[in-house]
Each structure stands twice: as C-alpha cells, then as structure tokens.
Amino acid sequence: MNDDSIRLAAFDWLQEQVALKGDALPRELLIQGFMYQGHQVKLMGPKGIWKPKVMQWPISITTVPNSPYDDGAFADGSWHYKFRGTDPYHPDNVGLREVMNQQKPLIYFFGITPGVYVPQWPVFLVQENREHLSFTMVIEDQVKRLDAGDPDPVEIYKRNYKTVSTIIRLHQRSFRERIMEAYKSQCSLCRLKHHELLDAAHIIADKDDLGDPIVQNGISLCKIHHAAFDRHILGITPDYTVKIRRDILEETDGPMLRYGIQSLENTQIILPHSRNDRPDRDRLAQRYEQFKRVG
C-alpha cells in the first residue's frame, strides 16, 4: 500500500475525531486507529516512535505527559524530539531519519494527562542533531521547499513562530486539564461543574518568574469568578479564605452580585484532595498583596 495515501487518510480520520470529540483524544482510540483498505492502521503504540505494520516508515511520534516546558525547546524557537536510546542507527531512529530525508509529514501526539493526547499534524523533521541525540521538528501547515543557498530569514521566523505558538497552546491545554483533574471539574468557589464554563486560572501570571504552569499555581474557577479574580474584585488569602473588595461589598445590585460575589466573603475555597495539588501559599500571598493594593 502507498505510504503517502495512508498518511493522508490518517490526517482525515484525525480531523473527524477532533470534530466529534474535541482536540484531546484518549489513548485507546489512537491505539485502535482506523481501517484502510481492509487493514487496521494504529496511530499509536507502546513506543514513542510508531510505525504501523502496513507502513514502511513511522507515522507518529509521542510525548507522554510530563512537566510543562521540559520538552527540549531550543533558543531559536525550534523543538527537538529525542532519539530512541543512544544508538543513531536503531531502527526507529533510522525510520525517522528517512522520514526527514523524504520530508514526509508526521503526527505529533502531545500527552496532557495520563491517557489523553492532543494530536498535531502535519509535523516535519528538518534537522538531525547527533550531539543531542535528537531531531529538530517544526509544526506548520506546509514546509516551504527552499532553493539552494541561504534560507529565507522571514520564512524561518514564520516557521519558528508557528512552532512556538503551537507548543504554548499545547502546554496551556495541558495546564487546564491537570487543573480540572485536581479540582474534579468544579469551580473552587461556587462548585459549578459545567466543564465548558470552567477555566484554569493562574495565581501568578505565566509571564512572571513564579508563573509556572503547574497545578500549585492554578485554581479551577468558573468564568465569572475567574474574571472577578483577575480584576481583583475578589482575592484569596494564603490560608484559602475568599475576600471581597470593600467597595464591591458595599455596592447594591441584583442577585448575581449578592449571591454570586458578596456572599463569598470569608468563605473557604474548595481544595484538591491531594495536598500536593493545593494552591501554593507563597504564590497566593504575592497575589493577595496585589488585591489589597487595588482595594
């Protein structure tokens, strides 16, 4: 069977699954894959570099759930994918090298929580770095075939920008899913459990030195309470007590303000069951100081 035709069929199948189930897909579905001309094409297997039996070269690479931003980003905006083991001539590494040489597109599965992956395609390998035992990959809709000579710097910038922005989006999705899991998909202030109405709120913004995308720097909040938290209408003390800004407490308005905001004064937030997932008190203290300055 034609390798390229199977890749295109895999992309079409993934597009259908994302449209039906959202961009986070379960591992079981990806392992099962799809049928192509009477043959089962599995898109994921026990190895990070995966080649279905019916294909000549690998079709996907996978990063398992891991600490955010610990995945090999280079300073120039590119991203590397590690060899299997340390032998450049291991069959899996040889397969990826051939995929790179032929500029065949891959699927990249980014693990956001155990058993859940966000697929990104097409991904192209553009360089091999044997010193770091890795391939450099770019994530884009189409790789421009550059003529011989110096690469176009504008094209390189656009290519790297898309790769970096995609990586950031994947990490943001990973942060959200881990927060939702820790808080059992409910607002920590009002217990609202509609997943589509919940946000993973940062305690310290990600642009800050302490703004790591870790569960201890996040709180599950509904969209209303997230907006109130971001605009310092409400604050959370280091001992997990909700405080409402004084002028808001004195304001007279409808039932949403009275029951949705003002009634939270001096209540305790709902905490994750695991102590390791609970909001970091030092980060809360820093954020609460901002709240007090505004109030």
Q: Could you report the per-residue pLDDT of 178-225, keeping only the tens digit for each?
A: 999 999 999 999 999 998 899 999 999 988 888 888 999 999 999 999
Q: What does the pLDDT average to over 147-161?
A: 47
Pairing state between β 234-236 and 242-244: antiparallel
Query: What integer best gives the mean pLDDT of the chain?
Result: 87
Q: Which two tokens stand for residue 155?
A: 């094209």
Tell me, rounded to whole angstroms, the distance of Cα 221 from its chain centroid. 18
Q: Indicate whether 277 pLDDT > 70.
A: yes
How many angstroms separate the CA atoms of 267 and 78, rounded? 46
Distance CA 265, CA 280 (A): 21
**Best CA proximity match to 232, nearest among 291, 277, 168:** 291
Buried b (16+ CB within 10 A) or exposed e, 98-116: ebbeeebbbbbbbbbeeeb
The predicted structure's pLDDT at residue 246: 95
Q: Which of 27-31, 121-125, 179-183, 238-242 is the least confident region?
A: 121-125
pLDDT of residue 218: 97
Confidence of residue 167 (pLDDT cuts 50, 70, 90): low
Least reliable range by pLDDT among 95-109, 161-175, 257-271:
161-175
Is 158 a residue whose pLDDT tops 70? no
Burial of 148: CB neighbours in 10 Å, binned 0-12, 13-18, 19+: exposed
**Residue 67 pLDDT level (bands cut at 50, 70, 90):** very low
- For 49, how many CA atoms within 13 A lie in the half-sphere containing its CB? 20
Given a cut of 80, is residue 66 above it in pLDDT? no
pLDDT tens, 195-206? 889 999 999 998
Q: What was the pLDDT predicted at 152?
A: 53
Cβ proximity of 118 and 109 under 8 Å? yes
Domain coordinates in residue numbering, the chain: 3-178, 186-294
Residue 69 has pLDDT above 50, yes or no: no
